[in-house]
DNA sequence: CCCGGTACTTGAACATGTTCAAGTGATGTG
DNA sequence: CACATCACTTGAACATGTTCAAGTACCGGG
């Protein structure tokens, strides 16, 4: 955890001041862009088309968004929020770990399902490590933390008893698994992405069992080994 | 396994005829492109620069390569071959599963290491599901099979005794793991990509142990469950 | 009310991946 | 050897993401 007191400059940009009219224009451009993305797909939607449809000059879009890819961030934020809402619904009802996890994962797929066809198109933007859209990027940090928080709630709100060390790591591990599911989903061409659903239904019981077993004394050394691996890989040197 | 007798048309293109001069030009363009990619990076290398440097018209490059991205395929093939050679060196010396796997993975990183800085840049091309560069694409099928073959040799040539069902699946699973390592490596910004090395060194013993345990009678149901999951997810309906 | 600054807006210009109609030259055939 | 065919080559033209110098609108202070 890097403290607030570190000498390095705070990497968060100071959020340019904006007047009411500006915010309105910004919203208009974003709404128009997302609508056109949905209607025609990402690649087929040109910046000129967005500008024309929104009734502004093309340069204006670039005043509010650094690039075409940056428009996608709005999509992300929206779906993230929707996932959170859907997840809370599930978490209020279920108390055991397995159904909680299963419900949250399915909810995530539900939320994204309408966008599967063109999610793949701009998925590549997210894949580039240097892209602000990467789930590991600094810009995505708030969204990432919010997502991990959901999985923390999955764990902490459950009746499952588990090793305290593991409990600390599990939310982030589950989030990583969720990223894997998303990756699978993006590549999943089966009708309605059934294979992804099957993956979730099959993997959750396995994870649940593994987590329960983590409390067994016999498996303590193995668990330690796994946790040590995570720690050593996370170390950034 | 789809048989050779399926009614669907063979999706492999008929390989356009090519004369000696054509092949020469093709090679020239590819060599020039890869050199410039190495020297300046992928994005910074324009098609015009490649053409100029190779002494041909820009349209000529498009006669041999469908797009700029397709030039990367040449890079892939080359590194794939280099990995195979390096892996065989290891496999000739080591007989136990763990060192064989460890050696092959490190060899793979060794081969790719010189290109880490710009591998990330065009990694995004590979990430797009519809791209021919995707490791799961039809066009990549030969390269993918070759890669899986390396891992089959890792398993089959080892002294490890393991469940026959698992033995059948393991090479593809290890390849999948290798893709995961590559994914990690692409994102790994630590000096010399040390973290990726640590990931390999830490994960291999775990995999080795897990594989050995697969023969235990007690774990048979769990193994069945895992294999069933794989089967159900692989099913393409 | 005027003025200076700053948020906002514009559209032409630019860079670069890609296409294509038109040419050039080698090769095999009668 | 003449000719037809087809591989090969060309470079201008096009499409689209991005930049930028210039202009406009609004706000706050004197």
Instruction: Give pLDDT, residue B227.
Output: 95
Minimal Cα distance from A199: which residue of B?
A: B233
pLDDT tens for each residue of A196-226: 999 999 999 999 999 998 888 888 998 999 9
CB-CB neighbours of B29 under 10 Å:
24
pLDDT tens for each residue of B189-232: 899 999 999 999 999 999 999 999 888 888 899 899 999 999 99
Q: Which of A91, A125, A122 is nearest to A108 (CA)?
A: A91
Q: Is the pLDDT of residue B122 over 80?
A: no
Task: Give yes or no for CB of A48 within 7 Å of strand D.
Answer: yes
Q: What backbone phi and psi angles, to 5 degrees, belong to B196?
A: -65, -40
Q: What angle do CA B7, B11, B13 make, to 5 degrees?
A: 135
What would the 3-class secondary structure string for A97-117 be? Answer: HHHHHHHHHHHHHHHHHHHHH
Q: Give percent of chain B with pLDDT exceeding 70.
A: 94
Instruction: Give pLDDT, residue B34.
Output: 93
Residue A193 φ/ψ region, left for φ over 0, alpha for ψ in the -120 to 50 degree band, beta for the rest = left
Q: CA–C1' span, B12 to D5, in Å?
A: 26
Q: Which of A125, A225, A236 sits opposite B124 (nearest CB)?
A: A125
Are B158 and B97 in contact by the 8 Å Cβ rule? The answer is: yes
Task: Tell me the pTM.
Answer: 0.86
Tell me whether residues B190 and A121 touch, CB distance under 8 A. no
CA count, 13 A, side-chain hemisphere, B25:
17
- Is residue B138 less than 8 Å (CB to CB) from chain A? no
Q: CA–C1' span, A19 to C7, in Å?
A: 7
Residue range A14-26: mean pLDDT, rounded = 83
Average pLDDT value for chain B: 89
Instruction: Give pLDDT, residue A235.
Output: 87
Q: Which of A136, A198, A228 sits opposite B232 (nearest CB)?
A: A198
Are A160 and A226 in contact by the 8 Å Cβ rule? The answer is: no
Instruction: Give pLDDT, residue A13.
Output: 61
The shortest C-alpha distance from B78 to chain A (Å) reads: 22
- Is residue B205 less than 8 Å (CB to CB) from chain A? yes
Instruction: Give pLDDT, residue B105.
Output: 98
Instruction: Please state, in angstroms and rounded to a whole number, the distance separating the CA atoms of residues A154 and A99.
Output: 9
Instruction: Give pLDDT, residue A118.
Output: 79
Instruction: Please state, in angstroms and rounded to a whole number, the distance separating the CA atoms of residues B143 and B70.
Output: 14
pLDDT tens for each residue of B134-167: 888 887 888 899 999 999 999 999 999 889 999 9
């Amino acid at each position: 955890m890097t403290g607030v007191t570190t000498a390095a400059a705070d990497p968060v940009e100071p959020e340019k001041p904006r007047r009411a009219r500006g915010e309105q224009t910004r919203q208009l451009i974003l709404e128009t862009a997302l609508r056109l993305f949905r209607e025609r797909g990402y690649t087929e939607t040109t910046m000129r088309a967005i500008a024309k449809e929104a009734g502004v000059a093309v340069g204006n879009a670039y005043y509010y968004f650094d690039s075409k890819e940056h428009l996608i961030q709005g999509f992300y934020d929206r779906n993230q929020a929707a996932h959170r809402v859907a997840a809370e619904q599930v978490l209020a009802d279920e108390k055991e770990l397995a159904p909680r996890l299963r419900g949250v994962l399915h909810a995530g797929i539900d939320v994204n399902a309408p966008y599967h066809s063109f999610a793949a198109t701009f998925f590549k933007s997210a894949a580039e490590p240097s892209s602000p859209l990467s789930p590991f990027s600094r810009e995505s940090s708030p969204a990432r933390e919010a997502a991990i928080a959901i999985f923390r709630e999955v764990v902490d709100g459950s009746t499952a008893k588990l090793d305290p060390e593991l409990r600390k790591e599990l939310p982030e591990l589950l989030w990583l698994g969720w990223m894997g599911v998303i990756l699978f989903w993006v590549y999943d061409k089966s009708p309605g992405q059934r294979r992804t659903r099957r993956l979730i239904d099959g993997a959750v019981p396995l994870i649940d069992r593994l987590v329960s077993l983590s409390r067994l004394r016999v498996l303590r050394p193995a668990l330690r080994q796994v946790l040590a691996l995570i720690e050593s890989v996370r170390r950034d040197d």
